[in-house]
Structure 1
Amino acid sequence: MTSLLTDHYELTMLQAALGAGTAHRRSVFELFPRRLPEGRRYGVVAGVGRALDAIEDFRFDDEALGVLDEGRVVDEETLAWLADYRFTGDIRGYAEGEMWFPYSPLLTVEGTFAEAVLLETVLLSIYNHDSAIASAASRMTMAAAGRPCIEMGSRRTHEEAAVACARAAYIAGFDTTSNLAARQRYGVPTAGTSAHSFTLLHDSEEDAFRAQVSSLGEGTTLLADTYDIAEAVRLGVEIAGPGLGAVRIDSGDLGVLAHEVRRQLDDLGATETRIVVTSDLDEFAIASLRAAPVDGYGVGTQLVTGSGHPTCGFVYKLVAREGEDGELVSVAKRSKDKISIGGRKFALRRRNARGVAEAEVVGIGEPPVDDGDDRSLVVDLVTEGEVVGREPLDAARARHHAARAELPRAAQQMSRGEAVIPTVHLDG
């Protein structure tokens, strides 16, 4: 159950609205960003599949109701209403793996106020976290320029966040994860061989390498920097032969060491042995290693912390509600520096004749007109309470690759900058 993954005030608002007779007014909530994280040129939508799972599981069973009753969070009338809670409305939004920009209408939740307001916290929790990880991961895989990236940050974050991180990173182009729960739940491919403790366990590095090769085969990856890197490389090729799969370097000047190790491997005849580097990498470090003979990157801490931006700053605001005549009325927050734009939104990616994105076009009240080269961004996710937008994770991964490829070339720059395309609002 996900019903208690929420804030206390969601339920007190519900109680007050039930008492006032306004809880059942048809309402439209929108989940959106007001801005990109400082210096970023685009963001990546992730967490959609997890959010759909959370909506299906959003129920108040006896245990949850008992917590609310014991704590006197809400009154008896509200408890009775919550016991029968089911979201029966409609949700539309950006598909997973898609790009986002300031004021992109990432999610539109339409139902009664009572039904829709309760989903605010859990949706924001999932979208803010997973999209932050995917956005950082996208920059890293872009910097890697086709070389494989391994997610290995489980020990640097909360144990459940680690699973979500692995999933989000895979969507944004990471090839594998070290996290086995991500494999179990989402089918993310896993990889891993050994840590320094395995080498230190044995009486010598040679004994450790022989044990690993004997167990995992010559295609394994040997950790080369426990003692002396050059000696470890020599031993590795001697034990596994020229078919040694890879060596991993986890410390030192990775660029310089990669060149030295590549020369040594080639001299030993291990010309196909790959070099994998780790050690607190981020997108900037990966970009700086582009000219080095590195074949893969293992990324941990910087990935699972969003590389300096651990949240996206998404908000969930009421943008329309039922008026006295039964029609929807646009509403919006107007406080300083926290402006919302009222009305139900639709969005498309405006592209030129070459398929390059030029703008994020958001229609208010009605969909913007496709001029022939554009691409609609909003899809059905939940219809009359039933999930209709669930898809394989590889579909989101493929979507991310295609959506990123259509961005202007400036999106590839690691330097700080503004959104790579503008957001344009069209009032219907």
Structure 2
Amino acid sequence: MNTADLGLPVDVPSTALFTDHYELTMLQAALRAGTAERRSVFEVFTRRLPEGRRYGVVAGTGRVLDAVENFRFDADVLGFLRERRVVDEATLEWLAGYRFSGDIWGYPEGEVYFPGSPVLRVEGTFGECVLLETVILSILNHDSAIAAAASRMASAAGERPLIEMGARRTHELAAVAASRAAYVGGFATTSDLAAGFRYNIPTVGTSAHAFTLLHDNERDAFQAQVDSLGRDTTLLVDTYDVAEAVRTAVEVAGPELGAVRIDSGDLLLVAHRVRQQLDELGARDTKIVVTSDLDEYAIASLAAAPVDAYGVGTQLVTGSGHPTCSMVYKLVARAESADPRAPLTPVAKKSSGGKTSIGGRKWAARRLDAYGIAETEVVGTGEVPTDLADRQLQVELVKGGEVVGREPLDVVRDRHVAARAGLPLSATQLSRGEPVLPTEYVTGGSGS
């Protein structure tokens, strides 16, 4: 796996600098104190969902696994750290041999989560685990936010396909990750070729207004596109007058015209008028694609419109108002010595201000009601109750430093559809509300 698979420039040698300065200074101090080799457990969770959201979506896990594999301090990275005097020579020597050798468990990608859900658990020595905090959080916070927005949009769209079109509305590397997360959340295709290349996501695209404006008239533009791409292409019909453009499009392509795209105006009204006009012209199978700053609310408002597909950009790649999930990476248990056999002791932050956490290595399970629908997210320490033993959510992702949980993206996408279907119906409501499942904490046993 090379760095191109992460959406990184090919000349970036590793993911090791996708971290914060203080991760390395903590490592140096711990090495000097003799505590860096203590067995430790870190967990990723969020204390709350974004305001009004009913559930979260785990996305980016596959990219996390790639990032962990590529977390290496090569000569160039070590040279940079030495030149900037970020850490001392003893720490640089330790980093030169860095390879994550621990274990990672987590919710499988595509699964839903709730406040307190331990979506990822990283176990190993303190030194090797603490370095992964920033890169793990940056991936999960971004991708899960996009996937949650995509899921809401897919729910609002029903059976109508969604096209991801947000590359020009975000950073070029974030755009690739956003396409992947959108696909996990239910989008069918992307316009971003880099995402298609790296993640095998189906790509689509036709033309912009510039192509129409390039030609002397709309007819010439449509003719050029049909001559090149065939009658099954999608013609953009709102550059000038929509009704005239639709008439011209059918004259040029015939009733076999694949689709028309509407990118402005009152989409509900225009879609109805265009559908009527297409039918009257004999183009009954020609589809209507709408774009123009759509979000889940706009998509839901078009449910009764004769629309066949939606193209979404800005609102998707910005998480539809919530560009992060506010996930955190916290130490929840650690050994009292560097002895690998030393038992784990639960630890937790106890400060005021709503940032407390619960110590101990945690399991997670989802309790179902009599109809097989999820009713409670149960998070606990110690022994798993017998009635929840076969409902546990976490799976093994990395064992002894080796990735064991990598999956095809289509498997992840299908999992999300099933996970969302297993929630109460109110999960798909777009009105603001509390998480659709309460989180119940069960404590007991030790941190080991």
TM band (smaller chain): over 0.9
For 1:24, the equivalent position in structure 2 comes to 37
TM value normalised by structure 2: 0.94
Which of 353, 377, 380 matches 1:360?
377
Secondary structure of 2:64 counterpart: helix
Please tell me whether residue 242 in structure 1 is matched to residue 259 in structure 2.
Answer: no
Deviations 1:33-75 (A, max 9, x none): 1100011000100000000000000000000000100000000
What is the letter of the counterpart of residue 206 of structure 1?
A: R
Distance 1:370 1:234 in 2: 64
Distance 1:416 1:368 in 2: 33
Q: How many residues align?
A: 427
For 2:408, the equivalent position in structure 1 comes to 392
Please tell me whether residue 80 in structure 1 is matched to residue 93 in structure 2.
Answer: yes
Closer, same or farther: CA 200–368 of 1 in aligned 2, 3 Å: farther
CA contact (8 A) 2:238 2:262 kept: yes
Deviation for aligned residue 1:371:
4.9
Please tell me whether residue 380 in structure 1 is matched to residue 396 in structure 2.
Answer: yes
Please tell me whether residue 183 in structure 1 is matched to residue 200 in structure 2.
Answer: no
Q: How does 1:222-261 map to 2 (within 5 A)?
A: 222-261=235-274
Distance 1:366 1:169 in 2: 36
Secondary structure of 2:386 counterpart: coil
Any stretches of 5+ residues in structure 1 without a counterpart? Answer: none
What is the letter of the counterpart of residue 60 of structure 1?
A: F
Distance 2:423 2:27 in 1: 42
Deviation for aligned residue 1:348:
1.2
Secondary structure of 1:329 counterpart: strand
For 1:120, the equivalent position in structure 2 comes to 133
Q: How does 1:202-213 map to 2 (within 5 A)?
A: 202-213=215-226
Deviation for aligned residue 1:365:
2.6
After the TM superposition, list the runs of 4 or more consecutive aligned residues in structure 1 that deviate by more than 4 angstroms: none
Secondary structure of 1:317 counterpart: strand
Distance 1:308 1:271 in 2: 37
- After superposition, the CA RMSD in angstroms is 1.0
Please tell me whether residue 53 in structure 1 is matched to residue 53 in structure 2.
Answer: no
Deviations 1:305-357 (A, max 9, x none): 00000000000000000025811000001112101110001111111232211
Deviation for aligned residue 1:367:
2.9
Distance 2:351 2:235 in 1: 57
CA contact (8 A) 2:78 2:96 kept: yes
Which of 431, 441, 448 matches 1:415?
431
**Comparing 344-353 with 288-297, which one deviates more in the overlay?**
344-353
Percent identity at matched positions? 71
Distance 1:294 1:195 in 2: 19
CA contact (8 A) 2:18 2:135 kept: yes
Please tell me whether residue 288 in structure 1 is matched to residue 304 in structure 2.
Answer: no
Distance 1:382 1:367 in 2: 22
Please tell me whether residue 350 in structure 1 is matched to residue 363 in structure 2.
Answer: no
Any stretches of 5+ residues in structure 2 without a counterpart? Answer: 1-13
Deviations 1:5-53 (A, max 9, x none): 0000000000000000000000000011110001100010000000000
Distance 2:374 2:277 in 1: 45
For 2:103, the equivalent position in structure 1 comes to 90
Distance 1:403 1:386 in 2: 27
CA contact (8 A) 1:151 1:178 kept: yes
What is the letter of the counterpart of residue 352 of structure 1?
A: D
Secondary structure of 2:93 counterpart: helix
CA contact (8 A) 1:345 1:367 kept: no
CA contact (8 A) 2:162 2:309 kept: yes
Deviations 1:51-110 (A, max 9, x none): 000000000000000010000000000000000000000000001000010000000000
What is the letter of the counterpart of residue 245 of structure 1?
A: G
CA contact (8 A) 1:368 1:426 kept: no
Distance 1:375 1:270 in 2: 51
What is the letter of the counterpart of residue 411 of structure 1?
A: A
Secondary structure of 2:387 counterpart: coil
Please tell me whether residue 129 in structure 1 is matched to residue 142 in structure 2.
Answer: yes
What is the letter of the counterpart of residue 414 of structure 2?
A: A
CA contact (8 A) 1:143 1:286 kept: yes
